[in-house]
Amino acid sequence: MDHQRAKERENQCIQEQPPKCMAACPVHVDARAMIDCVRRGDYRAGLAIFNKTVPFPGIIARVCDHPCQTACKRAEIDEAIMINAIEKACADHSDSDAKKPFMLPKKEKRVAVVGSGLSGLTAAADLAAKGYRVSIFEAADRPGGRLREFGAETLLSDAIEKDLSLLNVLDISLHLDSPVSNQGGQTLDSVLDEFDAVYLGIGPATVESSSHGLTISASADGLIAITPLTYSTSNEKVFAGGGHRYGHDYSPITSMMDGRLAAVSIDRFLQGASLTANRDLEGPFDTRLYTSIEGISPEPATPMANRIEGYTQEEAEAEARRCLNCQCLECVKVCEYLAHYKSYPKRYVREIYNNDAIIMGSHNANRMINTCALCSLCKAVCPVDLDMAEICLDARQSMVDKRKMPPSAHDFALRDMAFSNSDSFALARHEPGHETSSAVFFPGCQLSASSPEQVTQIYEYLRRNVGGGVGLVLGCCGAPADWAGEKALTDAAISAFADTLKEMGSPKIITACSSCLRLFRNHLPDAQVESVQTLLAMNPLPESASTKIPAHVTIHDACASRHDNVVQDSVRSILGKLGVKVSELTDNRHLSPCCSYGGLMSFVNSEVAEKVVRRRVDESDADYITYCAMCRDNFAARGKRAMHIFDLIWLPAETDPAARKGPGYSMRHENRARLKLHMLNNVWNEKTAEEEEPMKLSISPDVSELLETRMILIEDIRKVIAHAESAGQKLLDGKTGHSIAHYRPVSVTYWVEYSSDGDEFIIHNAYSHRMEVIEGLSK
């Protein structure tokens, strides 16, 4: 992922967009954060947040015309949050006063501010904090301008005096009774001679009547010509804003904004910087933040017992609890993986980019990148279609390219895939008695591993119903390599399959697994691919179809079929034909989560995989119907009653198929290998070489479970014992009398503790490590 692409993806995520209240506020008060403090009863922190944006919090809290409330998301449900009243509660109930702002070192440049209304005061405070030497010229005998017009019920003089003590703190010279005009006092020209820049915050008065001694352009109706974005005038040293721009439509918070933004321009002017660059997010704007209001019950605004005093603490906190604390987090809400790492895609993209770009040091995001199920549920719920699957897969491919992929991450799954595409399982045959194939059945590796007997039954059904010769191709589609970011390996698997298809006359592919179906559609665009499920929906069901209909089931859609309505509908249609009563999970079809097999999550991060599968199985008490063998087995492994749709059609030997646990890793290999032999023997009448009597092992259920958790295959155990017994290289544990042996077939060293009983080996323990021990006596 290059820097540009990373930036684009980061910007795509809207989680860090401001909430509507903040975006609508002319000076962007972080009302959401302030209200969150009040919710916790922390008025000091609430005031500090308010004060971060507003230099005169006591004044603004009392006079603000609060456009934030008009924008408030809560208004779409019932009533807007009383943000202004909560601001006032912060000012009233905080045990601390406004903080002294952070001040830059003093500069030599001097700025004059004409008028001490909100815009002038704000411009003066902001510029003084930036280190400029600021003087305010006020025509009246006290500062405040139009603030003095508010009645005492709204704004007591005490509150004004308290906040204006900031002028002293900031070392601002306040000149009262100091009009700037042509009639006595100073003229603007004389001020300009003395100062490096001037801000005019002269209120609604027109230029003629105010007679400020202006040497700047004004319109016919007496208003100074002010450039909207920069607040500049016809004189480059003079800036103007505030009530003068709005006449008698007084908006205190807009006046404050004008003072602030004019101060930005004055600072840029005095530093010789561009007045116009990067100013597009100043003032009120439309936020891109999306916030779901689904499921939120209406609740009216908290009433105020005393309208003059404002909210009590109890009232303010009750009102703060109504705040939606607007966030997007749509993807994080539905994905245990995204929630596990306690952040959201914007941050994850940055972490993933840094992980990819780093040359020295630890790649701390490796595990996070390799844990994603690549199921794209995030994209399905994202208001802007951001897809973490694409980002994580791209990162995995880059790790493989740079040889930075941790060898342990996908090794087990890739060896499983290699097994499926080896002679042990791989097979391609035309139907007996046919020289060509109109279609081939590709059951995939996991149905063959979980329910090999169903593969034989489905194949028989297809031969009867499809016609024209239905061939059989056994193997793995390449999905594990694709998920592992191993492009070369994926391409090799697909290209080998494509060659096989070509040799068979390019027949239609019939898949049993949603992942195979999706992979073939994506990688073999010219091939005709269809699912067994679709064929079953369109054709009469076989006679074997269940008569023991479960009372109540619900469907778990496969994440690989997220956007495949045809397969989703087919499954529902089959259940309809069977007369099964079906209820739907809330998150079904395109919103279905992964079962934790996707993206090889369960091999990389069992902790997150457990959370993912646990959340899904806890959603309903009904038996789950899946149409992917891995979903079924993953649910069943957690004690969830789950059946593959095929379990209702081709009854397994078990009396209660929903209670069947899927086979472990070793048995999955064995099932595939036996399926191939069974097919060759029974369908093609090919006599296979006599199977050698395998080494007899005795493994207790506890040890079996240990092997499963540690991902150690029985075939590896056999290799260790065979090596130890033939080479005589093993250790004897004096206490237990057990033999301990190790063997490293390729990149993992396996240790097995065992004893023997006649020709049987009893397995007591096994473990492995990847680190290589350099043995021998050289040192």
Partner 1 sequence: MSENGIASSAPALTCTKCNIELFLGKVTVSYLGSEFPVDLLKCPVCGTVFVPEDLALGKMLQVEQALEDK
579 is a contact residue toward partner 1 (CB under 8 A) = no
Q: How far is the CB of 350 from partner 1 (least distance, A)?
A: 18
Near partner 1 by CB under 8 A, which window of 43-51, 120-128, 364-372, 651-659? 364-372
- Closer residue to partner 1 (CB): 409 or 479: 409
Query: Could you give the 3-state DSSP secondary structure of residue 116?
Result: coil
Q: How far is the CB of 664 from partner 1 (least distance, A)?
A: 20
The whole-angstrom separation of Cα 110 and Cα 135 is 8
Q: Which residues fall within 8 angstroms of residue 214, CB to CB, at 6 or more apart?
A: 188, 207, 224
Near partner 1 by CB under 8 A, which window of 71-79, 301-309, 333-341, 355-363? 355-363
Q: How far is the CB of 700 from partner 1 (least distance, A)?
A: 17
Amino acid at 180: V
- Closer residue to partner 1 (CB): 587 or 753: 753
Among 3, 248, 548, 779, contact with partner 1 (rule: CB under 8 A): 779
Is residue 163 a contact partner of residue 256, using CB atoms and an 8 Å limit?
A: no
Is residue 77 a contact partner of residue 298, using CB atoms and an 8 Å limit?
A: yes
Is residue 532 a contact partner of residue 512, using CB atoms and an 8 Å limit?
A: yes
Near partner 1 by CB under 8 A, which window of 207-215, 279-287, 358-366, 566-574? 358-366
Q: How far is the CB of 404 from partner 1 (least distance, A)?
A: 9
772 is a contact residue toward partner 1 (CB under 8 A) = yes
Q: How far is the CB of 737 from partner 1 (least distance, A)?
A: 10
The residue with tokens 């005998």 is: 141
Give the closest residue to 25 by CA, choosing from 271, 351, 316, 252.
Answer: 252
- Closer residue to partner 1 (CB): 665 or 767: 767
- Closer residue to partner 1 (CB): 101 or 406: 406
- Closer residue to partner 1 (CB): 396 or 742: 742
Burial label, 288 (beta-carbon count in 10 A; 0-12, 13-18, 19+)? middle
The whole-angstrom separation of Cα 224 and Cα 215 is 10
Is residue 669 a contact partner of residue 476, using CB atoms and an 8 Å limit?
A: no
Near partner 1 by CB under 8 A, which window of 45-53, 362-370, 436-444, 573-581? 362-370
The whole-angstrom separation of Cα 334 and Cα 349 is 18
- How many of the chain's residues bind partner 1 (CB under 8 A)? 39
- Closer residue to partner 1 (CB): 112 or 699: 699
- 718-757: which residues touch partner 1 (CB under 8 A)? 727-736, 739-740, 742, 749, 751
Among 347, 363, 674, 718, contact with partner 1 (rule: CB under 8 A): 363
194 is a contact residue toward partner 1 (CB under 8 A) = no
- Closer residue to partner 1 (CB): 297 or 726: 726
Binding mask 390-429 vs partner 1 (x if CB under 8 A, - otherwise)?
Answer: ----------------xxxx--------------------
The whole-angstrom separation of Cα 179 and Cα 186 is 7
Query: Could you give the 3-state DSSP secondary structure of residue 310?
Result: coil
Looking at the DSSP assignment, which residues form a beta bridge with residue 739? 732, 754
Q: How far is the CB of 745 from partner 1 (least distance, A)?
A: 16
* Cα 512 versus chain centre, distance: 31
- Closer residue to partner 1 (CB): 582 or 740: 740
573-579 long-range contacts (CB < 8 A, ≥24 apart) are 573/537, 574/533, 574/536, 574/537, 574/541, 574/645, 574/648, 574/649, 575/625, 575/645, 575/648, 577/537, 577/541, 577/545, 578/541, 578/545, 578/546, 578/549, 578/648, 578/649, 579/549
Q: How far is the CB of 708 from partner 1 (least distance, A)?
A: 15
- Closer residue to partner 1 (CB): 298 or 776: 776
- Closer residue to partner 1 (CB): 40 or 769: 769
Q: How far is the CB of 352 from partner 1 (least distance, A)?
A: 14
Sheet containing 749-757, strands listed edge to edge, beginning at the edge strand earlier in sequence: 696-699, 760-769, 749-757, 739-743
Binding site for partner 1 (CB under 8 A): 361-364, 366-367, 406-409, 727-736, 739-740, 742, 749, 751, 765, 767-779
